[in-house]
Amino acid sequence: MSDQNTFLLDGEEIAFTPGQTIMQAARAAGKYIPHLCWHPEFKPHGSCKLCTVKVNGRFASACTTAAAAGLEVENRTAELDDKRRTMLQLLFIEGNHFCPSCEKSGNCLLQATAYELEMLTPHFDHFYPDRPVDASHPDVMLDFNRCILCSLCVQASELVDKKCVFVMGGRGMKGRKIIINSESGRLADTDFSVDDRAASICPVGVILKKRVGFAVPYGQRTYDKAPVSIVETEAAK
Amino acid sequence: MNEQETIAAVLERHNHDGTRLMQILRETQEALGWLAPETITAISKGIGWPRAKVEGTAAFYSFFHLRPRGKYCVLWSDNITDRMLGNRELMQRLCEKLWLEPGRLSEDGLVFVNTTSCTGMCDQGPALLVNYRAVTRMTIDRVDEMAELIRNQVPLAEWPAEWFRVEDNIRRKDALLDHGLVPGEALAAAFARGPQALIEEIKASGLRGRGGAGFSTGLKWEYCRAAPGEAHYVVCNADEGEPGTFKDRVLLTSYADLVFEGMTLAGYAVGAQKGLMYLRGEYRYLKEALESVLARRRSEGLLGRRILDQDFDFDIEIHLGAGAYVCGEESALIESLEGKPGRPRIRPPFPVTCGYLNQPTAVNNVETLAAACLVAAKGGAWYAKLGTAKSAGTKLLSVSGDVERPGIYEYPFGVSVRQVLEDAGAKNCVQGVQVSGPSGVTLSANELERRICFEDIPTAGAFMVFDCTRDMFEVARNFAHFFAHESCGFCTPCRVGTQVVARLMDKLATNHGSPYDIDELFKMHRLMQGASHCGLGNSACNPIFDTLTKFRPAYEKRLKSLDYEPAFDLDAALSQARQMTGRDDAAAHLLNVE
Amino acid sequence: MSEKKKLRVATTSLAGCFGCHMSFLDIDERLIDLLELIEFDRTPLTDIKHCGPCDLGIIEGGVCNAENVHVLREFRKNCKVLIAMGACAVNGGLPAQRNHLDLRDILEVVYETEGSLAKGAHIPNDPELPLPLNKVHPIHEVVKVDYFLPGCPPSGDAIWKFLTDLIAGRTPHLGHGLLHYD
């Protein structure tokens, strides 16, 4: 391997192939950079900002920044983890995240990342927004109380399923939301199917398949067994 | 024409082209009043887009309505300068006269009254938009008369023309506003040199972007020209949304030839055949006049095929925005031009290589393009002598607030803040000056020797003056709400952060604040500056940070105690239960502090 | 050598289900070790009605009515260190699930709509009853809170780890497995 294609991540040399982002190269090297809206199968969205790192002293998103020779990247520093924890808190107070009644608990990337970063409190005052639940579809329900606006379902539906069932629209915290592709706004009135890629992409508990929620009980789920940093690096191998 | 025919005609006019969605939505709404669910469906079928994408775009912009907005939609400009001129009291009076609440359609579906972000009339406020037509200099008498006109359902065309008069208020002219050029003069000079030499001339002039960022215009054109693509584009950023700025409005009103000629120059330089002007929705009233200038230039051979008999074709089209400050960011503007929500793109790639329709695109500010004409006609060396070493040329300032003579002032770069204040007739003692709008810098009276130039204070042109009777905390709070309203919502720190900041400022404003809350504001500043996706989030806390640093007592005097304070009013939180039970005993009340 | 002074601890449940207190008892025989280090003031375990000066105050439950506010303030005033224990105290929890509804609508549906309570019921207005707040709030939205111990409920092990850390003078640290929101 050429020495030229490496950069430093928290002082450790990481090899990359040209065209890779910092996130991709780090993951390939078994290093965990916290993230929510990034998914290895999809193009980076860059919105959650959990993967904010410092590249040569400047803040940047690891998922959208190209790896380049000689970069010095800070990742799991106290300063950055502190910012990440604050952003997690902002996400928790923005929506209605009530883990004890959520069937995604234990498999939820938001929750697992908050555990990883030892978020003990939402800290800020909650907004308690009034968001809808859509149970119209026979096989899938939507609970937007938990949406973190990552857009993974948007990408999956458009690029993999070729359907555009979900589109991100509106502006700002009060307006931005997933728009369902039907005049009624109901999922049942779209061509959405439980077999769609978009049906199993949600990192939190918005898009839920009906009748299988508790097949695996609390306590025995993905992030119950191991923290997200371990799960992610194992998955990359 | 029925509704279907109206929609069909609009779609036909735009060739069923989805990238023209903004114009399709606006024209449809102008005809039908609002965008009903079936209207959205019809448009999506017409352009062959998924319905949710059309709704997603419509839902993004403040000026598109997915619910009925009545026959009269009155939106009060809510910049701090409008507030200082009493807009809130006037709006309240209008609402009382019309028996309605701000933000809610009247029971009879006739009228809707609310606030909107700065409409760019700060030198002649309080201002408003009625059915998206600009009205200036509102007074109590005008409010009373307006309420009558609305109640009697008098068509807008019969309202007093005087209300719609917009003044230029040019107070000081320099090289640009006294340009002395005739239409075509700059183009002829450019054609004599050739495109490459024109770029060299612009580079030699030291001309930098007037939108505030100050990137070298010559370099931008050079990069764009060199970038490979099927077509190249020129975009004029006329989305003058920074509260307190109105100089582009004046250029577009009285110097439109210069701006269009600058676009044509840019097209010649970068090898484009098409130019797009993105005009903010608040300036809708300028569209017809601008179209007629374009028509005249076409008839004079200054636009269209073989301009001035050269082997160069170029034409310009005007696109209207629809109330979204973030579209002033160039990549968000391009998204909007393509019919999408104005969400800033991930950069790189930059627009010069991958812009409009993913083609190389030069996006320039109105004033930059106008100034380019001066360089083309009079030479780079001549222009470079104006201003300071790193800030060549002149700058238009939009001066408003507590001054005797608000309006447009053109100065060579390097002018001191004190000079501007003297020329504009600053009233009383000056307490603070907000330069370059909410995303710019708040100056205190200790900093009046500072200079307007890229070496010291760069600016897009806003210059708002606050005398010693003003409350600098309220200035910052107004800006905090502006950013919360205008955040596109894409990234976490800006989307939620701007709301948290606005809420903290409200908590302080209602005297529920404590030193903890001030610490929280600093914490949000540290997070948002750096972690946000674009300039909006990165600069949204600037006025908070500046006023906390320079006007700390304005915050401290509002603190209720040094102890932690709840954000909400505990006694008010029992109001619904009191109402439902009819209780009013001592136990049915709570004090916020014991 | 004089005996080391025991930490005085008060606990209460506001808008909670006492599940966190039950979980507290799940530290089982370690309770005896704990009682070597602490003594209880006001708590459901002692039946002391009002809180005196304490070293630690542990609050279960969120704030849903006027009485909760008074009790919480009594704790804040008397406790050097205040701990939010469990989901409801930390983020409102189950009771806060009513927050997207209007309180007036809730009272009306429960007391005045046919098919709910017995015919003839009305919204209770007895001054003995604390009035409900428009919204349910986590305790940190009403008073300053020093530590947070999430979980619904936090496990006995988590409570034990948290308290022993704190009593020993360490900033409490819950690792993987002990930190849970559900």
pLDDT tens readout for residues B509-540:
998 888 999 999 999 999 999 999 999 999 99
3-state secondary structure of B295: helix
Percent of chain C with pLDDT over 70: 98
Q: Which residue is closest to C144 within chain B, CA to CA?
A: B564
d(CA B97, CA B95): 5
Contact B536, B325 (CB under 8 A): yes
Return the CATH class of domain A98-235: alpha beta
Residue C129 in this model has a pLDDT that exceeds 80: yes
pLDDT of residue C113: 84
Q: What is the mean pLDDT of chain C?
A: 93
Asked if the model's pLDDT at residue A21 lies above 50, the reply is yes
CA distances from A166 to A78, B91, B155, B157, B339 (A): 37, 39, 41, 42, 18
Residue of A nearest to C182 (CA): A100
Count of Cβ atoms closer than 10 Å to residue B308 Cβ: 14
Q: With an 8 Å Cβ cutoff, are C92 and A126 in contact?
A: yes
Nearest residue of chain B to residue A93 (CA atoms): B496
Choose the CATH number for B72-167 among 3.40.30.10, 3.40.50.300, 2.60.120.10, 3.10.100.10.
3.40.30.10
Q: How far does B492 lie from chain A, in Å, by closest CA?
A: 5
Structural domains in chain C plus CATH codes: 7-98+135-167 (3.40.50.700)
pLDDT of residue C1: 43
Report the DSSP pairing between strands C7-13 and C54-60.
parallel
Q: Report pLDDT for B213.
A: 86
Cβ contacts of A131 on chain C, cutoff 8 Å: 100
Is the CB of C107 less than 8 angstroms away from the CB of B566? no
**Residue B514: alpha-carbon gap to chain centroid:** 34
Type of residue found at B392: A
Beta carbons of B583 and C108 less than 8 Å apart = no
CATH tag, B395-468: 3.10.20.600
In tens, the pLDDT along A132-154 reads: 899 999 999 999 999 999 999 99
Say which of C104, C127, C130 has its CB closest to residue B576.
C104
Q: Could you say which architecture CATH assigns to the domain B171-384? A: 3-Layer(aba) Sandwich (3.40)
B575: which chain C residues are within 8 Å (Cβ-Cβ)? 134
pLDDT of residue A1: 45
Residue B70 is classified by DSSP as: -
Amino acid at C133: L
Q: Which residues of chain B have pLDDT under 70?
A: 593-594
Does domain A3-76 sit in CATH 3.30.70.360? no
Q: For position B565, what pLDDT does the model report? A: 80
DSSP 8-state code for residue B110? -
Reported as a pLDDT band with limits 50, 70 and 90, residue C164 is very high
Question: Does B26 lie at the interface with A, CB-CB under 8 angstroms?
Answer: no
Q: In the predicted model, is pLDDT for residue A128 greater than 70?
A: yes
Assess: ipTM above 0.90: yes
Determine, for residues B516 and C131 on separate chains, whether the beta-carbon distance falls below 8 Å.
no
Integer-rounded Cα radius of gyration of chain C: 18
Q: How far is A215 from chain B (nearest CA, A)?
A: 33
pLDDT the model gives residue C46: 87
C127: which chain B residues are within 8 Å (Cβ-Cβ)? 583, 585, 587-588
Indicate the residue of B57, B59, B497 with minimum beta-carbon distance to A175: B59
Per-residue confidence (pLDDT) for residue B465, from 0 to 100 = 98
Q: Which of A210, A202, A235 is nearest to A111 (CA)?
A: A202
Tell me the mean pLDDT in the region C66-78.
96
Q: How many CB atoms lie within 10 A of CB B67?
A: 10
Tokens 């393009």 sit at which residue?
B369
Q: Tokens 């005996």 sit at which residue?
A: C3
A125 contact residues in C (CB cutoff 8 A):
141
Tens-digit pLDDT profile for residues B62-88: 999 999 999 999 999 999 999 999 999
pLDDT for B567 equals: 80
**pLDDT for res B563:** 76
In this structure, the dihedral spanned by the alpha carbons of residues A178, B342, A125 and A223, taken in order and rounded to 10 degrees, is 50
CATH number of B473-556: 1.20.1440.230
Domain residue limits, chain B: 3-60, 72-167, 171-384, 395-468, 473-556
pLDDT of residue A143: 97
Residue ranges per structural domain of chain A: 3-76, 98-235
Tell me what pLDDT residue B594 has: 62
B394-401, strands of its sheet edge to edge? B170-172, B407-412, B394-401, B462-467, B430-435, B441-444
Strands B233-238 and B274-279, by their bridges, are: parallel
